[in-house]
Amino acid sequence: MTPKSDIRAEAETLQAVFTRAGAVPVDAPLMLSADTLLDLYGEDIRARAYTTDDPDRGEMMLRPDFTVPVVEMHAEHGAEPARYTYLGEVFRKQPVGSGRPSEYLQLGFELFDTGDPARADAEVFALFSEALEGLGLRAVTGDMGIVLAAIESLSTTEARKAALRRHVWRPRRFRALLDRYTGRAPPPEGRAALLDHVARQGLDAVIDAAGTETGLRSRAEIAARIDRLRADAETAPIARAEADVLGAILSLKADMPDACECLRDMTVDMPGLTAAVDRFAARMDALGEAGIDPAGLPFEASYGRTTMEYYDGFVFGFLAPSRPDLPPVASGGRYDALTAILGAEPIPAVGGVIRPELVRDLRVGGMP
């Protein structure tokens, strides 16, 4: 096992790249409000985090990530543009038998800038490329903004689009929803029978027949839920042509210029993609100006769909081809909407994190 002192020394060397770029070192509390994180990520985060109860502050979590507290700090005290870097322990439960540590150092860089988002994306990616140079890593990029714009362009109800947006981070659930909304798959078993029963007996009679309320949902909440199910059942299917375009986007893998050309062609059938594709093209130009050749960058439209759920634009990762057993050595992306979710004004932001213990392992003996 690599000594912690060696890992910290590696992290401090990496962090120097960010401080030379003007980043201000910041820290964050070890204990964070569980309510904030649950509101942001949903109950899924509970299975990956260490939680405890505080008599004064309620349910708390050991810090699973730095981004949320840094955003909260910036929203309260910061001014744009601002660059921050941080280095400290984070805590996440790991699958049994994975051998991965549940406590490890996380090094990060965050950029808050109301100016040119394409240049900000390129600056962050270029800094991470510089910090990780010589490790033989493979970079991959994506764009959640493209995926979210495609969902928004679908000719269907806001309720269905909201459900697809909510589950875009869970590919299997998302696929099942899309198949049902296009009529390729039937609704969940028993739903049609329930709605037929309500139509024949009346909503109040069905609820009365169910007996005394014993669960957490009130009578009004149950009625509202059935009303939503009824409205969904009466909604026309999403056109399969639109769903096919969305499917083509999600399966798109190419280098950045070719991917941009493919996406531009798709705007003919889905004009709502145009603004997102324009942002993609501007980012490619900015990367070129930052010394990064876009033709050498792989693009995968679905990349980032199984990571933290606050990314809503450009996403990237650095993987170790020689060590497929390792998680991404570094990852990041744009999260403009996160500040609005946390209750503040939206602040354009992009950043990322590095796992310094993985960098150390690769330097010592894991590189090809």
How confident is the model over 95-142, as pLDDT tens digits? 777 777 888 899 999 999 988 999 999 999 999 999 999 999 999 999
Q: Mark which of 178, 204, 238 sits at the end of a domain.
A: 238
Q: What is the pLDDT of residue 307?
A: 67
CATH number of the domain at 93, please. Answer: 3.30.930.10
Tell me which residue of 75, 38, 90 sits closest to 60, measured CA to CA: 38
Q: State how far the Cα of 312 lies from the Cα of 315, in Å rounded to an integer.
A: 8
Residue 227 maps to a domain:
yes
Residue 342 maps to a domain:
yes
- Tokens (6 digits) for 333: 């992306």
Judgement on whether residues 152 and 174 belong to the same structural domain of the protein: no
Range of the structural domain that residue 219 is part of: 158-238
Residue 53 maps to a domain:
no
Query: In Å, what is the CA distance from 214 to each residue of 210, 211, 217, 218, 308?
Result: 10, 9, 8, 9, 35
Q: State how far the Cα of 342 lies from the Cα of 355, in Å rounded to an integer.
A: 26
Judgement on whether residues 17 and 67 belong to the same structural domain of the protein: yes
Query: In Å, what is the CA distance from 252 to each residue of 60, 146, 258?
Result: 40, 11, 10
Domain count, the chain: 3
Judgement on whether residues 10 and 127 belong to the same structural domain of the protein: yes
Strand ranges inside the chain, DSSP E: 24-25, 31-33, 51-54, 58-62, 82-91, 103-112, 138-143, 253-255, 298-300, 314-319, 330-334, 349-354
Tell me which residue of 167, 228, 230, 173 sits closest to 196, measured CA to CA: 230
Q: What is the pLDDT of residue 267?
A: 96
CA angle (24, 113, 168) in 5-degree steps: 105
CA angle (338, 341, 346) in 5-degree steps: 60
- Looking only at Cα atoms, what is the longest distance across the chain? 71
Q: State how far the Cα of 231 lies from the Cα of 228, in Å rounded to an integer.
A: 5
Give the three-state DSSP class for 51.
strand
Instruction: Enumerate residue ranges in the chain where pLDDT < 70.
Output: 41-44, 211, 213-216, 307-308, 343-344, 366-368
Judgement on whether residues 202 and 289 belong to the same structural domain of the protein: no
Q: What is the pLDDT of residue 366?
A: 53
* Other CB atoms within 10 Å distance of the CB of residue 6: 14
Computed from CA positions of residues 230, 231, 234, 239, in that sequence, does the dihedral angle turn out positive or negative? negative
Q: State how far the Cα of 43 lies from the Cα of 222, in Å rounded to an integer.
A: 21
Which 8-state DSSP code applies to residue 153?
H
Computed from CA positions of residues 39, 219, 173, 167, in that sequence, does the dihedral angle turn out positive or negative? negative
- Tokens (6 digits) for 214: 């014993």
Residue 42 maps to a domain:
no
Q: What is the pLDDT of residue 42?
A: 64
Work out whether strand 330-334 and strand 51-54 pair parallel, antiparallel, or are unpaired.
Answer: unpaired
- Tokens (6 digits) for 79: 């001014």
* Other CB atoms within 10 Å distance of the CB of residue 343: 10
Q: What is the pLDDT of residue 308?
A: 62
Question: What one-letter code names the amino acid at 152?
Answer: E
Query: In Å, what is the CA distance from 224 to each residue of 191, 194, 217, 219, 228?
Result: 15, 14, 11, 9, 6
Q: Mark which of 319, 339, 355 sits at the end of a domain.
A: 319
Judgement on whether residues 173 and 144 belong to the same structural domain of the protein: no
Tell me which residue of 122, 131, 167 sits closest to 147, measured CA to CA: 167
Strand ranges inside 48-120, DSSP E: 51-54, 58-62, 82-91, 103-112
Q: State how far the Cα of 149 lies from the Cα of 55, in Å rounded to an integer.
A: 43
Judgement on whether residues 213 and 182 belong to the same structural domain of the protein: yes
Q: State how far the Cα of 177 lies from the Cα of 24, in Å rounded to an integer.
A: 44
